[in-house]
Structure formats: structure tokens, C-alpha cells
Amino acid sequence: MRIMAINGSPRKKWNTATLLGKALEGAAGKGAETELVHLYDLDFKGCISCFECKRIGGKNYGRCAVKDALAPVLERAATADALILGTPIYFGAETGEMRSFFERLCFPFLTYTPGYASLFSRKIRTALVYTMNVPESVLGQWGYTVFMERGRAVLERTFGACELLLATDTMQFADYGKYLSTVWDAAAKRKRHEEVFPGDCARAFALGERLAAPLAAG
């Protein structure tokens, strides 16, 4: 069992990366081999619309033809037994790097056929981990639930069952006094980070354990 986690945050030791690390800890505790990839370490672009992955009989049919720093990551992802994609929310959506990765990961397997059937030959578990500054109460009002569900649906159609893990109202800075951010209550953010975020970490750990469990036959 091999599980890959993809960090779409530029920060390697903050909310998103921490939750991905906890998920991999949970998976490793169940015997899984794990890998964490930081997208901001890589030099790559999103889909370039070459359509080589759709060319019937072409040498790149069903896989991304672009050869860059992301190519080996995509190759390993295609052979993983579970995938976890994690990203903070910037301007109401995933980060640019995560969006580019998502395009490159999923589009080669999508077919322009009725129902958009997937070329991926197996069923694997996947998960999307989202972190955000806003409270859970505004997710529907601000349209967050729509784009998160859309991402979940694409992963599910492409690979198999997909879980969502949301960490809301997160702490953005260790010291709010250093930054112009008066829209937030720094003391409340600190309190929530100390009292609620450990529970988010526990949920991430349990997610990793579930992803490492054998898929049911049939």
C-alpha cells in the first residue's frame, strides 16, 4: 500500500502541510508506504491544451505529454494506492499550483465520451484537504461548497471514492501583530488554533488510517 499526499500550499510547516503530515502518519501506522510532495518546490505549469493525451493511437494517449518537473510526480501518482490533495483556499478556490496539478493529474484520464468515462484502470481512494481562514458558517454563502464538491466529484469519477476534510477558521499567522489583518480577532484565532485545530489533526490522522485500509472486494 503506497499513499501520496500533495501539498498545494507554499508553506511546508503550516496548516495544510500539518494536516497532510498527520494523514500520512495515520496511514504509516497501518503499514502504508507514504510520500509527501510540495508543489511549490517544482517548476511546472498547468495543462497546455496540447490534447496529446486524447490522440487516438498516440504515444501519450491517456497520460500527460508534458515533460517537466511534475512528470515524475504524475507517474508515481498513477501507481499509488491512494491520493490526498491538500490546499489552502486563496480567493475562494485552491491555490494556483494545486489547480495546475489537478488539471495535469485528471485531464489525461478523462475521455470525451458520454458520461466522461475515466481511462484510469483501477479504483483507488482519494481525499481533498482544504484549509481556510473563514468560518464554516459562510461556506455555502460564499460558494465554497460548490467548488469543493466539484473537485470531489472529479476525483471520484476519475479514480474512486473521495473524502473531504475541511479545516475552517484557521490561524494564518503566528503573530498577528506583525501584519495588517484587523479583520480577524487574533486572540480568538489563537484560542481556536489551540482548542480546535488538534481535533482537525486527529481527523486527518483517522483519514490516513482509512485510506490505508484494504479496498473491499468487488
Domain ranges of the chain: 2-211
Which of 52, 50, 49, 25 shows the shortest CA–CA distance to 36?
25
CA atoms of 70 and 45, how far apart (whole Å): 8
pLDDT 10s digits, 139-184: 988 989 998 999 999 999 999 999 999 999 999 988 888 988 888 8
The neighbouring-strand residues paired with 90 are 93
2-211 has which CATH code? 3.40.50.360
C-alpha torsion 214→19→166→161, nearest 10: -20
Which of 36, 57, 53 shows the shortest CA–CA distance to 105?
53
pTM: 0.92
pLDDT 10s digits, 46-95: 999 999 999 999 999 999 999 999 999 999 999 999 999 999 999 989 99
